[in-house]
Amino acid sequence: MCMYSSEDGFANDWHMVHLGSHAVGGASLVFTEASAVEPRGRISPQDLGIYKDEHIEKLSQITNFVKGQGAVPGMQLAHAGRKASNARPWDGGKPLGPDEGGWVPIIGPSAIPFDPPYQTPMEMTLADINQLVNAFAVAAQRALKAGFEVIELHGAHGYLMHEFYSPVSNKRTDEYGGSFENRTRLVREITEAVRKVWPERLPLFLRISSTDWMEDGWTPEDSVRLAADVKPLGIDLIDCSSGGNASQPRIPLGTGYQVPFAEQIRKETGILTGAVGLITSPTQADHIIRTGQADMVLLAREMLRDPYFPRRAAKELKQEIVPPPQYARAW
């Protein structure tokens, strides 16, 4: 969950307390928010980044603390593409120009804005694409130096990788557009580039939007095919979200509404999957794992509401998480 609390991509004390509290709270894996691999890949000017070597120092302090609490620190690498350069949600979320702290140009697979208020992106050249792939690889190297032990490539929610694989936003006529193979080429290339620098012993996740919820958009069957394609390239788990590439779709929101995507991809490809979306109770999360719908449950908003959710869940499910000694007398 984006915190919109950075300056020039730098983590600070907010991130230490925010991420550290989840480790103290009993989470087994603690991810940063979407962390931009280049400055123009930020959703807002206040997004976290991993595009400078100088970002490593504070991030290292955070990973050391997270690991000290028995949790695994993970980093989500991202590029906002055509959804970049916007105000923070509590500042209105509107597109920002250079005179307001934003930037131009923003980039995307095609010169199609996300929505009329958004900037129209510049269609990326082949040189731009090559530079972007390298930016993800260099960001992964920095994440490794900072002590992270899991990387997730953010290819969902209408951000750049999703913009390329979805026919809703990709109207290119070169080798990165048109066919399924061409539209998914960028995801494969980023995966391969990151895997070359990310040790085999450390997991690499890919977050996708399993469907665009739109006619003539990306489908769950496309997601199955993509998962099968990236598995041999070194992706260990598919984080199965959905939507985000258009403002018009009607999404049937409900408890665990995205879990069937994780189940389908898992069963049809054999790859590990993570379930997300309106998972709010310990018994619900436990049921997802016990019934083989997914291999992992990833929580976001519920963990913002209660950073100690894992400890509450353990108590409800009659399991045990050893608390920090400072807190032991309260359990």
User: Which residues belong to the active site?
Assistant: 159
How far is residue 226's CA from residue 264's CA, in Å, rounded to a whole number? Answer: 13
Per DSSP (E only), the strands in the chain are: 29-36, 72-78, 107-108, 122-123, 150-155, 204-209, 237-241, 272-275, 296-297
Task: Annotate 98-117 with b (16+ C-beta within 10 A) or e (fewer).
Answer: eeeebbeebbbbbebbbeee
Angle at 60 between CA 58 and CA 26, to 5 degrees: 105
**Nearest to residue 140, comparing CAs of 74, 85, 187?**
74
What is the DSSP code (8-state) at residue 124? P
* Identity at 301, one-letter amino acid code: R
Instruction: Give 147-184 as a 3 state SS string.
Output: CCCEEEEEECCCCHHHHHHCCCCCCCCCCCCCCHHHHC
CB 158 within 8 A of CB 77: no
The residue type found at 21 is S
What CA–CA distance (Å, rounded) separates 290 from 182?
37
* DSSP three-state, residue 76: strand
- Rounded to whole angstroms, the Cα distance separating 191 from 154 reads 11
Distance CA(253)–CA(268), nearest Å, equals 24
CA distance 107 to 27: 35
